[in-house]
Structure 1
């Protein structure tokens, strides 16, 4: 019971702090003090440290020697690294997922695509975008790979919100998603993987401040 309660506190801290980072409330480089966070959540330092480890695995915070834990940078090098890691790993996951895709899986992928097309807010679009990419790779049967991708996808969500803040956002359809789904329905895995890699790496062209 105590372990369950501790895990719940860790999850609550990680979700709350991660949400503030993704939304931009906590800016890149901002320090995260264990004592301040522990006080806010009325907890000991132990769950705070574990929450920080989870956020670090999600590429949302970094541990800087002699400077403590800080919000991860959001410069062009970070954008490039996240995009290239996602492109490589998500293609591996898709190659293992595609042979196991059932009509029900394809329906979930299409539902996420439709929800993204119909999104009227950046928050709804981000949820649908993440759901689309998760649905593509869910059947791959590689839990360690999926755990790594989950963190990279959250880091990508932070970039989506940053784009919306800097350049604005308006409802639009995602043609790349539609082409990927069409390739999967046609059982053209090489084309689907090429489209997915190209789609993910377009984020490298973002002009974010260094």
Structure 2
């Protein structure tokens, strides 16, 4: 099993550490769709008991990253076109409103940090970094809204689709288009045009959804 284990035998937050390690491995594709999560093996890797492992897996199941199958136990969840469409429909409702609310609160420092994220995304030739760099750009802009509950919902939605979006960028050569769309969103934010930033964000999400749904069978 491909994980970065930590000796947490004397750590009070063992469940949280296991949860974050498994979550990261799933999102980044180190744990593949359908791969079983064997509690004994994971507990051994982290030098802990099965109890925090079980708790971590339950949290992952609540987020849709893990599912329990008969006779197999917990396995990494896949994503159907219908589920992907539902997630992106939710994002298209929430994220434009978040950025619309964020634009009036954006300082020059926030915009500069977002530009640095955009440039890092565009400059990277390592597909393993694209998912996080993409999220860094959007998160930097959204954070100015102060809508923490909305931001948590967006994070959970992105966790569910992140590994597929990364694969999509590789297979569809979508980096240039994503960069151009990111640049347009940032420029709208820079000029204080909240309505335009919201509309561009909605279109950006719709474009990604169309490509992902069309190619999801090839992304597994």
**TM-score of Structure 1 vs Structure 2, range by shorter chain:** 0.7 to 0.9
Q: CA RMSD in A?
A: 2.7
Query: Is 2:126 aligned against 1:118?
Result: no
Q: Quote the offset at 1:118 in angstroms.
A: 1.0
- Count how many residue pairs are aligned between Structure 1 and Structure 2: 206
d(CA) in 2 for partners of 1:5 and 1:63?
Answer: 27
**TM-score w.r.t. structure 2 length?**
0.80
Residue of 14, 23, 44 corresponding to 1:39: 44
d(CA) in 1 for partners of 2:202 and 2:172?
Answer: 25
d(CA) in 1 for partners of 2:127 and 2:207?
Answer: 18
**Which consecutive residues of structure 1, in runs of 5 or more, have no partner in the other structure?**
none
Cα displacement string for residues 23-52 of structure 1 (whole angstroms, at most 9, x for unaligned residues): 333222333233332222221223213322
- Residue 46 to residue 89, structure 1, CA distance change in 2 (3 Å): farther
- Determine helix, strand or coil for the equivalent of 2:75: strand
d(CA) in 1 for partners of 2:194 and 2:143?
Answer: 16
> What is residue 179 of structure 1 aligned with on the other side?
184
Cα displacement string for residues 95-134 of structure 1 (whole angstroms, at most 9, x for unaligned residues): 2222211111111111111111111211233222110010
> What is residue 217 of structure 2 aligned with on the other side?
209
d(CA) in 1 for partners of 2:19 and 2:173?
Answer: 27
- Residue 123 to residue 27, structure 1, CA distance change in 2 (3 Å): closer
Residue of 134, 137, 140 corresponding to 2:139: 134
d(CA) in 1 for partners of 2:38 and 2:193?
Answer: 49
d(CA) in 1 for partners of 2:113 and 2:59?
Answer: 28
**TM-score w.r.t. structure 1 length?**
0.83
- Determine helix, strand or coil for the equivalent of 2:216: coil
Q: Which moved more, 1:127-136 or 1:22-31?
A: 22-31
**Greater relative contact order, per chain length (Cα 8 Å cut-off, separation 6+):** 1
> What is residue 70 of structure 1 aligned with on the other side?
75
Residue of 45, 54, 78 corresponding to 1:49: 54
Q: Quote the offset at 1:184 in angstroms.
A: 1.3
Please give the residue correspondences for 1:80-91 in structure 2 after superposition, counting only pairs within 5 Å: 80-91=85-96
d(CA) in 2 for partners of 1:56 and 1:195?
Answer: 33
**Which consecutive residues of structure 2, in runs of 5 or more, have no partner in the other structure?**
1-7
Query: Is 2:194 aligned against 1:197?
Result: no
8 Å CA contact 2:106–2:144 kept in 1: the answer is yes
Q: Quote the offset at 1:10 in angstroms.
A: 2.8
8 Å CA contact 1:138–1:146 kept in 2: the answer is yes
8 Å CA contact 2:185–2:197 kept in 1: the answer is yes
